[in-house]
Chains A and B, each alone.
Chain A
Amino acid sequence: KNEVEQSPQNLTAQEGEFITINCSYSVGISALHWLQQHPGGGIVSLFMLSSGKKKHGRLIATINIQEKHSSLHITASHPRDSAVYICASRAIKAADKLIFGTGTRLQVFP
């Protein structure tokens, strides 16, 4: 079992829909990252969370440390949000490394 699990693996949505991507992890972490990867490779770091909630534009990330769970929400989705979204954890005992989830492939249609 992967230490970081994401759901769903694939997600399609109509433009304007509210989107939620979930991430669960199995070990104690010092931080959790949400990353966005567009076709062609480039990865953009969206959020780094250690507690609570962060918001940037239409993106909101939340984390519940007790439940070992994080969510990424996209409000008023747009076709340009189509990408792979990856969560990655930094374990407390191995903060040097990121443990990546398998990613959620999002397609937003006009």
Chain B
Amino acid sequence: DTEVTQTPKHLVMGMTNKKSLKCEQHMGHRAMYWYKQKAKKPPELMFVYSYEKLSINESVPSRFSPECPNSSLLNLHLHALQPEDSALYLCASSQNQRVLRANEKLFFGSGTQLSVL
């Protein structure tokens, strides 16, 4: 299994809603990432988890709350979002956060397209 699975694929929410994005991988990867991508722009890093601990938070507003319940799962909890938070949210994983082996790649999920009304 070489997939990163994200659910849901599409999400529409109001500014007062609470929702969660889910990401799952079963490749034994110990680094997992959340990226935000606006239309026609490159992905922007939000969070990095390494060995289930938050290692990087790119000054993301607290209305985004990541959680890593175990080594295979990564969640992103959303609360009181703004319309400008509408974007594609991508999850990725890699074997390790820092150590790069010869053929190490990042594996991306297909993303959750989020619309905030």
Cβ-closest chain A residue relative to B48 = A96
A41 B110 Cβ-Cβ under 8 A: yes
Say whether B106 faces chain A, with CB atoms less than 8 Å apart. Answer: yes
Number of interface residues of A (CB under 8 A): 24
Q: Which of B90, B105, B109 contacts A48 (CB 8 A)?
A: B105
Say whether A58 faces chain B, with CB atoms less than 8 Å apart. Answer: no
Q: B37 contacts which chain A residues (CB < 8 A)?
A: 41
Q: Which of B42, B92, B97, B113 contacts A102 (CB 8 A)?
A: B42
Smallest CB separation, A70 vs chain B (Å): 15
Cβ-closest chain B residue relative to A33 = B106
Say whether B117 faces chain A, with CB atoms less than 8 Å apart. Answer: no
Give the size range of B's interface with the partner. Answer: 20 to 34
Say whether B66 faces chain A, with CB atoms less than 8 Å apart. Answer: no
Smallest CB separation, A1 vs chain B (Å): 15
B45 A42 Cβ-Cβ under 8 A: no
A42 B109 Cβ-Cβ under 8 A: yes
Residues in chain A within 8 A of chain B (CB atoms):
30-31, 33, 35, 40-45, 47-48, 50, 86, 88, 90, 95-98, 100-103
Question: Whole-angstrom distance between the alpha carbons of A33 and B42 in the complex?
Answer: 13
A41 B111 Cβ-Cβ under 8 A: yes
Q: Which among B98, B102, B106, B110 has the highest number of chain A CB atoms within 10 Å? A: B106
Q: A102 contacts which chain B residues (CB < 8 A)?
A: 41-42
A40 B42 Cβ-Cβ under 8 A: no
Say whether B55 faces chain A, with CB atoms less than 8 Å apart. Answer: yes
Question: Whole-angstrom distance between the alpha carbons of A95 and B98 in the complex?
Answer: 6
Given contacts A86-B42, A98-B45, A103-B42, are A40 and B110 in contact (CB under 8 A)?
yes
B107 A45 Cβ-Cβ under 8 A: yes
Smallest CB separation, B20 vs chain A (Å): 19
Q: Could you tell me which residues of chain B, from 91 to 112, have a CB within 8 Å of some CB in chain A?
A: 92, 97-98, 100, 102-111
A33 B97 Cβ-Cβ under 8 A: no
Question: Whole-angstrom distance between the alpha carbons of A54 and B105 in the complex?
Answer: 13
